[in-house]
Structure 1
């Protein structure tokens, strides 16, 4: 596997060769190591990477070749030798670009081969001494899961809270706070978890927060469970307010966006019994999420809500749009059955028959006059599981 670090070294080798490099022996040894690795001769590859490290023209290339030599020993089955090499790299002072990687790999080896205490100690060192490493969040989550299993989630929360004062301002701070919030929710402290999730949102807002949308989504789920449906919708709208559109290649979409839009619509429809706002919310999915696979679902739900209100013209107008723009949709035969003016296009792979569960109209539900007990979060009736854009 060619990691970004290895690719960078290979590019450097290519540049060195183009410039008539100063040490062709390094280039030769590195390429011989690559060939041995490709052929599955890992012990030989390790020796060749060692040779390349000894002849490396600069410290960065030397360190990378030494790290690859250690990894080749691991692949050769020499776990003791690999562990010794990785530990030496991890203890180098000052740290190098491979220090955190070596600690993480060393932890993996020790946990997998009979020395888990040292392995988790390695992960702890990585978290506390290298919190800005890209591997630190992974190490933290593994440590937290291990504590969950050995000491319980409440102990894990206390441990995470203890890390906050020391590491809260580092790049690891958001992960610490979010993991503590997750476990607070899991222990049943919904109010405490709600406060923690919103604290994450406020401290690490979009676009800098990696868990901004997840935190708002989970806070909305707690609100819904406690019967605070308007607040749940407000949190979901706060997430969607940050949604951006890419004008060139790529996307700014986050996986929670379409989930949030679907839940807003179902909350209005099934919790608050506000069909007008539910229609608007479903139409927004169709109009704004132009790459979503749920656009035809949203149009159908909007049409059904119009039908429940007795507005057949509007319902059939939406059904007509659905059939025209999504000729292969599973809702096409349902639209034909309910709206005689709608005809499927000649080129349509939609089912011939409308399934009963799609054509069955939902009965209107009167709003409750009295406050209701906590409710389980909605799964989005008649809609596929959310999560795709």
Structure 2
């Protein structure tokens, strides 16, 4: 069995072990780590690597040895000694039980091997990270590299891998990433119905507030609906994004980054696509009132004033723009309010 195959087999065997996180100790170890840190801060990577090696030799515990060797490998990588760095990363990744640098070392070794063109071994290691450690912080990055490499072969190969992962990591933090990659490939192939069905699954199976891709997914669904000429469906997706916050569930502030933009986008769709003045006015007021710290509320207030003026509601529109010029800080919305007021509210 080759070195790469042996490493993969060991990684699979230890996949269920619990990471170790603890404070370093040992005077000789700590002194060597401090010396290595000084070399690193001055860009002396070779000297840093030597000091980190000495720190690893003096480590009293495995976790401290792993950390010193991890930093040694990074120093060697920076100075161009990739073979030496890979040997150390493999050594860290193969140790049992799993510790805090185990998965990171395997991912970093796979990344370096991809860069060197060692595709088969790199992909095998990436699969270990993705399949056996799907909730690890490196799993999402490993999946990106894996999918990118497989798509270089063909989209069909990447889709087959992702479909297998769909069931394998369904209960993990990585599942919505897997579904997103699937949807993006289908969309790139022009298979819009398949992509939309996958985005719907993300929104349903990984909902707010735990789902990390939930708001982006609903935004993407709104994009697809709007492109298909269905503004009401687009609004429904955006309303779904805003509803949890407006209901206050769960308690506290859980505003997702897309929520204020969704509120403003709803107002614009009501105004431009549906030509519903009253609904647009209500949506603009909500975008302004519901998100007091948002950067879009300036636009919401000014666009409400413009909407009112365009509908012949001069008194209401001018009052809204006066409020905008009085409340808003200097910016594009403020300047637009001043210009429209000067023209229509003398």
Q: Partner residue of 1:314? A: 316
Q: Partner residue of 1:335? A: 341
How far apart are the structure 1 equivalents of 2:310 and 2:40?
67
Which range moved further: 251-260 or 210-219?
Answer: 251-260
What pairs up with 1:338-349 in 2 under 5 angstroms? 338-340=344-346
Q: Partner residue of 2:162? A: 160
Query: Contact 1:245 / 1:251 at 8 angstroms: preserved in 2?
Result: no
Query: Contact 1:302 / 1:315 at 8 angstroms: preserved in 2?
Result: yes
Higher helix share: 2
Q: Partner residue of 1:96? A: 99
User: Cα–Cα, structure 1 residues 244 and 26, in superposed 2: closer, same or farther, change >3 Å?
Assistant: farther
Query: Aligned match of 1:291 in 293, 296, 316?
Result: 293
Aligned pair count reads: 319
Q: TM-score, normalised by structure 2?
A: 0.85
CA RMSD of aligned residues (A): 2.2
How far apart are the structure 1 equivalents of 2:317 and 2:343?
13
Partner of 2:244, secondary structure, is coil
How far apart are the structure 2 equivalents of 1:59 and 1:290?
50
Deviations along 1:112-132, whole A, 9 cap, x unmatched? Answer: 234234323322222122222
Query: Contact 1:148 / 1:155 at 8 angstroms: preserved in 2?
Result: yes
How far apart are the structure 1 equivalents of 2:189 and 2:144?
17
Query: Contact 2:222 / 2:234 at 8 angstroms: preserved in 1?
Result: yes
Q: Partner residue of 1:35? A: 38
Partner of 1:241, secondary structure, is helix
Query: Aligned match of 1:221 in 207, 223, 244?
Result: 223
Q: TM-score, normalised by structure 1?
A: 0.76
Q: Partner residue of 2:118? A: 115
What is the CA distance between 1:171 and its match in structure 2? 2.4
Q: Partner residue of 2:207? A: 205
Q: Partner residue of 2:197? A: 195
Query: Contact 1:302 / 1:318 at 8 angstroms: preserved in 2?
Result: yes
How far apart are the structure 2 equivalents of 1:253 and 1:327?
23
Query: Contact 2:209 / 2:254 at 8 angstroms: preserved in 1?
Result: no
Q: Partner residue of 1:132? A: 135
Query: Contact 1:245 / 1:252 at 8 angstroms: preserved in 2?
Result: no
Query: Aligned match of 2:275 in 273, 276, 281?
Result: 273
User: Cα–Cα, structure 1 residues 303 and 66, in superposed 2: closer, same or farther, change >3 Å?
Assistant: same
Q: Partner residue of 1:384? A: none
Which range moved further: 24-33 or 154-163?
Answer: 154-163
Partner of 1:242, secondary structure, is helix
Partner of 2:335, secondary structure, is coil
What is the CA distance between 1:200 and its match in structure 2? 1.1
Q: Partner residue of 2:50? A: 47
Does 2:244 match 1:239?
Answer: no
Deviations along 1:325-379, whole A, 9 cap, x unmatched? Answer: 1263112132122111xxxxxxxxxxxxxxxxxxxxxxxxxxxxxxxxxxxxxxx
How far apart are the structure 2 equivalents of 1:190 and 1:88?
45
What is the CA distance between 1:245 and its match in structure 2? 11
User: Cα–Cα, structure 1 residues 33 and 251, in superposed 2: closer, same or farther, change >3 Å?
Assistant: farther
- Would you identify which runs of 4 or more consecutive aligned residues in structure 1 move more than 3 Å? 250-253
How far apart are the structure 2 equivalents of 1:162 and 1:89?
29
Query: Contact 2:261 / 2:296 at 8 angstroms: preserved in 1?
Result: no
Partner of 2:245, secondary structure, is coil
Deviations along 1:67-87, whole A, 9 cap, x unmatched? Answer: 112222112221111111111
How far apart are the structure 1 equivalents of 2:145 and 2:335?
43
Q: Which entry has the higher C-alpha Rg, 1 or 2?
A: 1
Query: Contact 1:184 / 1:190 at 8 angstroms: preserved in 2?
Result: yes
What is the CA distance between 1:192 and its match in structure 2? 2.0
Partner of 1:243, secondary structure, is helix
User: Cα–Cα, structure 1 residues 25 and 220, in superposed 2: closer, same or farther, change >3 Å?
Assistant: same
